[in-house]
Structure 1
Amino acid sequence: MEQNKVAREQQIAVFGESGSGKTVLLSSFYGLAVEQLLSGTEQFDVLAADNAQGRRLHQNYLGMKNSAVLPIQNRFAATAYAFSIKRKPGTASKARRKAPEELRLVWHDYPGEWFETEPSEPAEEERRIDTFRALLGSDVALVLVDGQRLLDNAGEEERYLKALLTNLSTQLLKLRDNLLEDGKPLVTFPRIWLMALSKADLLPDMDVIDFRDLLVEKAGAELNKLQDVIATFVEVPEALSVGDDFVLLSSAQFEPEKIEVTKRVGLDLILPIAAMLPFSRYVRWALAMRKGAKVAEHLLRVARPVADFIGNDRLVVLLARLPGPVGNAVALIGPFLMQTVLDLAGTKLLDMHAEAKAKHDFLNETLTGFQLELDRGDGEKVLLRSRV
């Protein structure tokens, strides 16, 4: 579907070593959505853009739920999965802007084997480069830390964590020259890199603050190195957040001969993270910039759907004028954007959500609901967001 027919599209890139749980995570996310068990699905449907992909993910989920069978690992397979988030048929809408597909999530799965092995032939190396190019439109990247590997290295977690982060930094460096045209840093690139504990059910006593502390204590230098490496990819590296946000993820509760797919952790946060986490940070970064006009323009374009939140026609018009003198645009729209950031971070959010629901405004109700879900994740110590 054309980008201009989607009110908001967000892409998320997922990185993790082989066996870290990427396929199980995605299958559980989609299966729960199909069964209307994912938060928000009482209001909207999550539909796979590719029916065959959707059936495979649903089949994986049913195999876990009914037969305690884990999905077969799809080695060296680089796949993008697109999901439409649509209002349920028959529900009224009074939203000002109509779109056949109001929200869309594109999930990029980067094969874990590519962090662990060198290309066996030039064609495979080219596939790695093409795969990474495909995910450059993502604003958010998840780096999975395998809970099972932490257990296997209990007391010596640094052995695993240092290797994980070093491998990621090394592979990114190897890709860099092929991704940067004439060595010029990129405007569009994942700028928020979350650290995600996968298989969190294996560590039930660890909350997200404990997870953050473990990473910083055991592999703080390697996390800083990863940030330095990623900064070399982007124009205006000040607009970058690496290892400042943390989330716990568990696809299910795994027991001998039984997988409880409804006992999950963090899966309800995936859509809110992808759709809303960049918003306030991008606004702050853009408004603080004194140079980097193209980057400021990109950040403001990502934040553009905020106009729907506050119903301010002047803001809609100003954002529509981009591109142009970005400094002037920032000066004009800054107060409107910042007020909305404050509203979404404060008590007014509940009022905004209730008003959108009363007006049957699907887009606003969904996005404010996502923001409430992020706040809930913080409160339950499943999510830890940077305050910078």
Structure 2
Amino acid sequence: MPPLDLHVAVFGASGAGKTVLLAAFYRAQTQPAFQEEYAYKIQAVNKAQGNQLLGRFYRLEEGKFPEGSTRFDEIEFDFFPRDLPEAAVRVHWYDYPGRWWEDDPVDAEEREAMRQGLLKLGMSQVGILLADGAKYRSEGTGYIRWLFEHFADECDRLRRTSAATGDEVSFPREWILALSKADLFPPDYGARDFEREVCRDADDQLAKLCSVLRAEHAFGHRFMLLSSVAAPADAQVDPRTSLGVRTLAPAVLVSTVEGAVREAQATRKEKSAKETFFQGLRDLVQFVDSVDDFLPKRYQIVSKILRFVSIKDFASTRVDRLKKIREDALRRGDTFKAVLTGMVAALRDEEGLRAYHQNQ
């Protein structure tokens, strides 16, 4: 059975930390200790890309931080359950270069690369906007307001430019706002604190951004803290100091399911205004066999996800119970259930609770 495809687009201005995040994301989840704890590991589909990411990380350990990407990169990762040979999930990671926020394409080749990159964004179930933690720490709320204004203006420009050339760009409808370099903040600072500050001090800018993206619920209810590596003054990097990196893929998975539920609810005229996500999910499961008939193509994978992960798993099952379900699935060779249940559990462990917060 082919793996489930999850598409995620990552945005961030130059210096926000996207390149370092990708290297840390890959390195952390290829290690035996990770596989033992979380019951899955990842592997780059393209071996050369995997080696390049590992090389970046090992140079990080020497204090050599990589230069930011100047091109649109697509990297694919397969998620394998522990001790099972079949991949369960394939993540397509689209890295939109920060330089494209700030400068026009230098030539026809780069213009075409931007056009092709924008078309791929429409395939993404989830977008991640990466805020620079160092700038937020030094500049405060003014930086976040600038980031939202700047990103909204850029998305609006990209949509107008694309429409003029006959290529209507579409952006992900589900978003995660992530704060990079979280090691710069106190140990008791969590994603919930970040959410409180942003919603309190930049609500007007959030509203504008949602309007530009044509998605009422796009921003303002999923927040993450991410620390790819800790970088003290002597620049000696400890690979065990990451935060949120292991929570990222699970957050994307759950956001994808939430997006599908929202799409399904929108098609039902009798929906109650007070209907919760999990009520909508319960209704979705009742006719999961026909869900592909009305969900947009980017969300059709949800019909498969919901056959392997129960409503209770998403809603309230305890971590220890989720881990037991995961281990049972491994013993049966149930690839999908093992990985998907493991991801849901990762959102409930100690790191997940600090690194990821959802306020709706």
CA contact (8 A) 1:79 1:110 kept: yes
Q: Please report how far the alpha carbon of residue 30 of structure 1 lies from its aligned counterpart in structure 2 after TM superposition.
A: 1.1
Q: Please report how far the alpha carbon of residue 41 of structure 1 lies from its aligned counterpart in structure 2 after TM superposition.
A: 7.0
Number of matched residues? 333
Cα gap change, 1:194 to 1:24, in 2 (>3 Å): same
**Map of 1:215 onto structure 2:** 198
Q: Please report how far the alpha carbon of residue 167 of structure 1 lies from its aligned counterpart in structure 2 after TM superposition.
A: 1.4
Supply the distance in 2 between the matched residues of 1:39 and 1:203 (Cα, whole angstroms): 28
User: Does 2:326 match 1:353?
Assistant: yes
Q: Please report how far the alpha carbon of residue 160 of structure 1 lies from its aligned counterpart in structure 2 after TM superposition.
A: 1.5
CA contact (8 A) 1:194 1:245 kept: yes
Pairwise mapping of residues 93-172 of structure 1 onto structure 2 (< 5 A)? 101-153=87-139, 157-172=140-155
Supply the distance in 1 between the matched residues of 2:293 and 2:10 (Cα, whole angstroms): 26
Name which of structure 1's ranges 363-372 and 298-307 shifts more when overlaid on structure 2.
298-307
**Map of 2:8 onto structure 1:** 12
2:174 equivalent among 192, 197, 200: 192
Give unmatched runs, 5+ long, in structure 1.
94-99, 232-236, 311-339
Please give the secondary structure, in 1, of the residue aligned with 2:348. helix
**Map of 2:41 onto structure 1:** 45
**Map of 2:277 onto structure 1:** none
1:83 equivalent among 77, 82, 85: 77
Q: Please report how far the alpha carbon of residue 344 of structure 1 lies from its aligned counterpart in structure 2 after TM superposition.
A: 2.6
Name which of structure 1's ranges 352-361 and 79-88 shifts more when overlaid on structure 2.
352-361
CA contact (8 A) 1:49 1:83 kept: yes
Supply the distance in 2 between the matched residues of 1:377 and 1:8 (Cα, whole angstroms): 27
Supply the distance in 2 between the matched residues of 1:227 and 1:108 (Cα, whole angstroms): 21
Name which of structure 1's ranges 37-46 and 50-59 shifts more when overlaid on structure 2.
37-46
CA contact (8 A) 1:282 1:300 kept: yes
The one-letter code sitting in structure 1 at the alignment partner of 2:317 is T
User: Does 2:160 match 1:177?
Assistant: yes
1:28 equivalent among 24, 28, 31: 24
CA contact (8 A) 1:377 1:383 kept: no
Give unmatched runs, 5+ long, in structure 2.
270-291
Supply the distance in 1 between the matched residues of 2:298 and 2:123 (Cα, whole angstroms): 12
Q: Please report how far the alpha carbon of residue 163 of structure 1 lies from its aligned counterpart in structure 2 after TM superposition.
A: 1.7
Please give the secondary structure, in 2, of the residue aligned with 1:296. coil
CA contact (8 A) 2:81 2:339 kept: no
Q: Please report how far the alpha carbon of residue 289 of structure 1 lies from its aligned counterpart in structure 2 after TM superposition.
A: 1.9
Supply the distance in 1 between the matched residues of 2:92 and 2:84 (Cα, whole angstroms): 26
Please provide the CA RMSD for this pair.
Answer: 2.9
CA contact (8 A) 1:12 1:105 kept: yes
**Map of 2:275 onto structure 1:** none
**Map of 2:311 onto structure 1:** 341
Deviations 1:87-136 (A, max 9, x none): 45xx368xxxxxx5321111111111111223344543443232121222
Cα gap change, 1:39 to 1:178, in 2 (>3 Å): farther
Identity %: 27
CA contact (8 A) 2:3 2:87 kept: yes
Deviations 1:25-76 (A, max 9, x none): 11111112233344667633311111111111101111122x22212333x2
- The TM-score normalised by the length of structure 1 is 0.77
Q: Please report how far the alpha carbon of residue 217 of structure 1 lies from its aligned counterpart in structure 2 after TM superposition.
A: 2.7
Cα gap change, 1:285 to 1:138, in 2 (>3 Å): same
Please give the secondary structure, in 1, of the residue aligned with 2:223. strand
- The TM-score normalised by the length of structure 2 is 0.82
